[in-house]
Amino acid sequence: MLNVLAPLLLLLNGLAAGVLFGTQLGGFPYLASLPTDRYVHAHAFFGQRYDPAMPLCLVGTVVLDAVLAVGADAAPERTLFAVAGVLAAATALISVTKNAPVNRWMRTVDPDHVPADFQNIRVSWGSWNRRRSLLTIVALVANCVALGFLL
């Protein structure tokens, strides 16, 4: 069973970490450099494309980490899978409560009539995105280390 679950875990966690790492390297810095009207269009464009895939990757990571943590024979792997699962769950929580609502709202914003606090929303979204990126990347590292114990 491990030979099926472990690659699937690395695939899902790796996809989530890769997407979020990419947003830190280029996606958000590019968005942040745009004037407000272009930012609204670009953010809405990106947000609607990542929203369907990312929840599947994160929920799959949490579930597989839980299964592997319960099924692990030794404490190091069990602990690392559990920690990775908690980190992925925290990422999902941030996504659902902080980032996804802004993504949905952004699709309704008129670029010619943005709210007065728009810059604060922009900065807040970027800050929460940075946090969830770090959590997901650390979860991937924990999963890789856990699987290293099993090799």
Query: Which H or E run contains 78?
Result: helix 75-94
Amino acid in the structure at residue 28: F
pLDDT tens for 81-115 read: 999 999 999 999 999 999 989 988 988 999 999 98
The domain of 76 spans 2-150
Total domains, the chain:
1
Q: How confident is the model at residue 6 (pLDDT cuts 50, 70, 90)?
A: very high
| C-alpha–C-alpha distance, residues 124 and 118, integer Å | 10
pTM assigned to the model = 0.93
| C-alpha–C-alpha distance, residues 106 and 101, integer Å | 8
3-class secondary-structure state, position 105 = helix
Is the model's pLDDT at 51 over the cut of 80? no
| C-alpha–C-alpha distance, residues 59 and 131, integer Å | 18
Per the structure block, which two tokens stand in for 49?
Answer: 């494309």
Whole-number pLDDT of residue 90: 98
Average pLDDT over residues 12-31: 95
Q: Specify the higher pLDDT residue, 130 or 47.
A: 130
Q: How many CA atoms, within 13 angstroms, populate the side-chain half-sphere of residue 64? A: 25
| C-alpha–C-alpha distance, residues 90 and 102, integer Å | 18
| C-alpha–C-alpha distance, residues 67 and 61, integer Å | 10
